[in-house]
Every structure is written in structure tokens, then in C-alpha cells.
Structure 1
Amino acid sequence: MMAVNQRRSPAMRLVALLSGAVVVAQLATAHAQQAPAPPPSSQAAPPTQAAQAAQAAPAAPAAPAASADADPSKAVYEAARVLYEDGDYAGALLSFQRAYDLSGSANTLWNMALCEKNLRRYARAIRLLERYQMEGGERLTEEDRKGATYLITTMRGFVSTVKIAVDQRDATVTVDDEAVGITPLARPLLVDMGFRRVQVKKKGFLPFDERVRVVGGNEMSVNVKLEAEVHEGRLEVTAGVHDLIALDGQVVAQGRFAGKVQSGGHTLKVTGPGMQPYQSEVVIQDEKLRRIQVTLQPAPKTGLPAWLMVAGGAVLAAGVGFTAGYLLFQAGEAGEPTRGTLAPYTVEIR
């Protein structure tokens, strides 16, 4: 397995301190990009020499130690060196990451940190250097550790510790479109200075999406309160001045109604004195406006006119008299005489 930047010669052992000096010079010259300069001698360059170190030509990270031809990480590492020397730090970062995946060498993390530094992604560079110190373990010399610590301390002025507190659990938090965790977050985040985009999303809630100004070398908090997602639209109903407007069986207005209504189907009913009721099913869509104009029609009259009542009464009375007369004289229509109790016991009715 290839060991990148393992036990180096005295000329290479202090590349960490050199890189720290490059960072100081880079910050002093207001964002002037500078690849790591050639390493100094056995003494670590003091901060006062940073400007002079920055004037040196860019140098690629140290070459990996000799390894067997069968080691696939060697070719990937050499490609990363070419990209780094050409100033393609993004491409070099990808190749160094691939070399790390193949070799597992902690020293490759150092080279990745240099790429992130040159891309001005200081928070990522710091995290990589912390991994470098942890994974390197006893294989790192004291000078290696001092160099990494110095570089981390220098870049701390360009990042802030941000604590993001969300009132809902299991929400996804992203910073600049990069997922950083699920709430509640285990620890504060290390974020580069500048305007950062903070997003918090959870199903059933409206997304939180804001640009937050981060000042370097500081600690800050971002408190997020998610609002429940409500599916609703607007409904406007216009009717007569004295008409009552009811929605789903409850009177909501008289004459005119305008307001928010939950999305879905609803029963609309409009009633008025002496008017025929109006009823209809209304469908409300999310964030849509539905307007309805209702004009009630007069209700049909159910009582009979007075003249019909009088005429009907006369007809009814005549009918009753006719029926009574018919029943009274119906017996006289027979051919046989009516029998009585006096002699001659029969009486003819003519």
C-alpha cells in the first residue's frame, strides 16, 4: 500500500509549517491564491516570513514514497500532482480523494486539505487537517502535528461555529446545498464566513430557506421554527344583501363571504327570506381563488287564491246538497209502493 508523504527527508518534513505560512501570506494579500511553497530547512518559518514565502512559485504536494508497480493509487496520486501544479485544485482534490480511498494514507488527507484551502473552503480544510492528525496517530512527527495545528489556528479566523436549533425532530439541515445532519444536530457546525444558505426541510412542514451572514472567528446561533404545511385556497361568495351563506352546514356570512378555506370539497348553501335555497358542491384547490356569484329565485307560492277558495266552497256546498237530495229521494224512484203501519198499509208517493 502506498504511503503518501511518509517519513520525509529533512527538506520535506516541515511542509505543514510552510503551508501555514502560505496561508498567512494569502490572507494578507487579500485572497491571492497561492499553492504551497517549497519547504524550508529544519526551522519552521515564523509568521513574519510568510510574505516572503508567498512570493515563491507554487509547488505540488510531496511525491509519495516508492511503491510497487501493482499499487493502483500511485498513478492516481501522480495525476493529482499534475492537476495541483496546474492550479486545478478542484480536480486535484478529486484525484487525491481517490488516492486516499485506494491507499488509506493519512498523509493524503494533508494534500486534500491544501486543495480545500486554495479553494477558500476553510471549514473543510480544517476538518481534513483534524482527520489528518487523528488518523496519522503515532506515525506523525511532532513537527507534523505542529504544522497542522498552526494551519488550523490560522484558518480559524475565517470560519465560525454555528449552532442550528430546530423546533422539530428528524428535519434535514443543509448548508449551501450540502447536507450536514438530521435534527437535533449532535454538535455546532463549522461554517465559512460570508453569506451562507441554510435550509431545513421536513415532510408536512413548510421549508425554511434563508441566507445567513456568517462573520469569521465568531460563534452564532440560528433558531428555526418550522410552520405546519396547510393545504388551503380562497373562496369568495357574493349573494343578496339579506341572504345567508353557509359552508358545510355552518353559516359563515350574510350577503358576501371571502376567506381561506381548506382544500378539497365543500357544500355551499345560500338561503334568503321568500327565496328558493341554492346548494352546490364547491372544490377548493391549493393557493387558488374560487369566486361564486349566487342569485336566488323567488320561491313558488303553495296556497290557493281566494276566488278559488270561494268557488270551491260553493261547488262543495252544491255537491253536498245534491248528494243529500239524491239520497233523500232515491227510494221514491222504485216502482213498488212504500209499505206503512196504518191501513191500508201502503202509501204511494208520487
Structure 2
Amino acid sequence: MKIVTLESDFLASSFRELGHEVFYIRWDTEFAEKKNFLQVNRPIYYRDLLTIFDKYSFQPDLVLWHDVGNIPRVWGLEALECPTVGFFVDTYCNPWHIPYSYAFDCSLVAQKNAVPLFNEDDYAKVNKWFPLFYNKRRAFNDSVIRDIPVCFVGTVDSKQNELRKKFLDQFAKFCPVLVKKGAYQPLFARSKIVLNQSAACELNYRTFEAAACGAAVLTEDCDNGLLDLFTPGENILPLYERGNARQAADIALEMLNDEKKLTEIAASGEQLVNEKHSSIARAQEILDSIGEFSGKTRRRLASGEFIRAKLMLAAMFICGETKTVLPLNMINHFSEIAKTYQQRWDKVALFR
């Protein structure tokens, strides 16, 4: 099968490992191209995609757009004649996810509690809970010694998570914790416990990545399917109440004093994510689901007016972003996209 992945390459290597041909396209400020990879330095539209497919002699059987937490740089996917999948991760801070999802035959939703939001209106696309995972090229256990008792790696001062710094500062008053930004694997693989905290009770990548690096995961009771995937006290540490730094620190200190139990939980968590929550497992799940949504493509192509209204709404949502202040040129850009989608389907030259 020929698969195009857009924005993120988290699943590209796994599709290849499963025997499929993959072409990866991402947006960046620079331009770069090599075999089966293209980095473009401007937004991509329908005609651009067709040009790329023709230039590289790559006619996809499946197109996967993978949310990377930024505003979408790809528009016109709703006009593609092959099955399309959108993978939505941070819906809690991106309300445009919902209307944008109508560009796809199937919406994979990382946060279980958000799935019902994608079911609005009587429209036959597939919406599925699709938990996050770890990529074995990025998260792996090469530990020689675990000399870091408790570690947190991530952004501390994000506008999307203003409570994190306060939580980490409070935790540090009761239990020492190494807090860093940047590459997580070298630190997770040296840590006995990886402390996790979310922005909005979402089930995040860190949960899976820390376990894959062989650390015991200490996370909050975040719902969103956490207890469907993990068992506290067995493959992750007991949960702490969201925002309760003292409780989290007490759990960490108690587990550090029980080295045998801590090691058992870490090993059980690593085994679990290796077996069920790797990028390979998720890639295979998508492939196994193709029959479920591939028949929706014709319906999507015949629903231009309905879908165009949804994508116009998505562009308008982005223009009105409040958490992230967009520069004026970007606001104007998405305003033009919204206006374009207002036109008649057969006159949308930009997208079709």
C-alpha cells in the first residue's frame, strides 16, 4: 500500500516496517527534499498535493494527517479521491479540530472524552478513540544505571498549561525532582520515576514514552481512557489527584522506599506499552480499520457544500484563536481560506 503522512512522521517508520511504501510531507520554514520525504516552506493546498503526487510518481492509497499541535498547514484534503484519515491529539486547546475533521473519512481522536464532540450532525464518517503511543526510535530503554530518583522533562512555562510550574515547584518542596526541557529519552532511561502532569487532564505522550524507557510512571487521575489502558499499582504508580503536588510527592517517596515494588511496576509498564501501545501497534490498527472507513470516500466527495461549511468554520476558529495570538498576516491568511470556502464548490480553484 502507498501511504502519505502529513505533518508528523510518528507513524511513517512503522508503516514502512509493516511493509508499506510511505511518502512523508511536512511544513517548515525551510525547503528540503529527499527520497520519500518533502519539507515545504509554505501551506499546502489540493493542487499542490496533486502536483507533488505526480512529480514523485506517488499516487496514495491512503492519506494520514497527524496533528502536531500547530494550526493546520494543509487544506483541500476533502477533495482527495483516496481514503483520508485525520489524527487529532490536543482537541482541548484546538476547537478547530471538530470542523476540520470533516475533511476526512475517519477521525482518530487521542482523547477518549473528546470523541463525542466529533459525532455532531448526521454525517457518516468514522470517529474512533485512538490513544497515543510511543515510537521505539525515540523512546527506548538503554539504561545502564538509574541514578535519577524522579524526573520531569517538558515545557514548564507553556501558555496552554499555566498550572504546571506551580505544581512542579510545590512537588519539589516535598520530594527532589529533576526538571528539564529538551530530549527526554536520555533522562527517562536513567530515572526510577517519571513525573507526569497534563495541561487539561489529557492522556499525553509522556505516559507511554516514560514507560517505554523503563521508568515507573507517576501521573494524575486524568480520565480520558487512562484506566482503560493502565492499572495503577500494577503497571503505573498509584494516581494522584490533579494538582495535588503533596500527594504526588508522598507517592514518589513511598515508592522510592520500596525498590522491589517500584522495579516491578516499571517493568510491567514497559512490557505493557511494548505489547500494546507502540507506534507499530497503532499503525497496524489503522491498517486493520481501512475497510471500516474506505467506503466513506464517495460520500465525502458528494458532500461538498456540507463539508465546505465545516472547513470555513475551522478557518474562522483559527482566526479567533485566544490562547495563541496569531500575527496579522496569519489571521488574514486564514480569513482568506474561510472566504474561499464560502464560494461555490465548483469555483474553489484554490482547493480543487
TM-score range normalised by the length of the shorter chain: under 0.3
Q: Which structure carries more relative contact order (alpha carbon 8 Å, separation 6+)?
A: 2
Structure with the larger helix share: 2
TM, length-normalised to structure 1: 0.22
Q: Which has the larger radius of gyration?
A: 1
TM, length-normalised to structure 2: 0.22
Structure with the larger strand share: 1
